[in-house]
Amino acid sequence: MSLPVVDVRRLAYAYPDGHQALFGVDLQIHTGERVALLGPNGAGKTTLILHLNGILTAGAGSVAISGLPVTRPNLTEIRRRVGVVFQDPDDQLFMPTVHDDVAFGPANLGMRGDELERRVHDALAVVGMEAHARRPPHHLSFGQRRRVAVATVLAMRPEILVLDEPTSNLDPFSRRELADIITGLDVTVLIVTHDLPYALHLCERSVILADGTIAADGPTRDILANAKLMGAHRLELPYGFDPTYGR
């Protein structure tokens, strides 16, 4: 088996107020996988993903990205390797233009001139937003801002793309556009989502996080078809949706 691109071992974390969010989580994700992270609100999903690029630091256990420990001396490289797209794109877009937002990360790494311009153009082209490079982000639709947020991460050429509730507030057309972008990427993908049909469409593997521990890990279709497992973890499919259809 190849070296995991994400290697979480016995990860535990408590917030400063004493709330224990994670209890010995083990999770390995390999290159090229697309994995859905499922679970009810308060399960610890966001806490877990914030450990992957060092926004939070393990209280116990360890996290490594392609063998590199997520520790303070490695944070610059870790944040290049792990791109996190937050639920609200306005948390990531703060520059005067779309171009400047996408250029921000590579420029911070010292990239300049034609190389930087190529990086920005390529990232915007992947998400179909190159024609909007000189527009202010706040003039764009929500779906367009979500795609620009993805471009800001892709401009760093990450090894793993983490998306937190990527379909939140998207209309059906924008939802499909984003799915087409994700399936066209040559990176490892971790998607935190309550959108279970989206998880089935994009991810062959799903992990359920519940009360700060891994409750299930397996093929998405099998997990969604397990009514007892789903009910025990407050996960509910849309009315009439059959995850076994077409099997």
Q: Mean pLDDT over residues 212-227, rounded?
A: 96
Task: Name the pLDDT band for 246 (thresholds 50, 70, 90).
Answer: low
pTM of the model: 0.94
Residue 197 pLDDT > 70, yes or no? yes
Show the beta-strand stretches assigned E in the chain.
Answer: 6-14, 20-29, 34-38, 60-65, 68-69, 82-85, 160-164, 188-192, 205-210, 213-219
* Phi-psi map region of 240: left, alpha, beta (phi>0 left; psi -120 to 50 alpha): left
Residue 1 pLDDT > 70, yes or no? no
For the chain, the domains span 6-88+159-232
Q: What is the DSSP-derived secondary structure letter of residue 73?
A: G
Task: Name the pLDDT band for 208 (thresholds 50, 70, 90).
Answer: very high
3-state secondary structure of 179: helix
Residue 9 pLDDT > 60, yes or no? yes
The domain over range 6-88+159-232 is classified in CATH as 3.40.50.300: yes
Residue 241 pLDDT > 60, yes or no? yes
DSSP codes, 38-66 = E--TTSSHHHHHHHHTTSS--SEEEEEET
Q: What is the pLDDT of residue 14?
A: 94
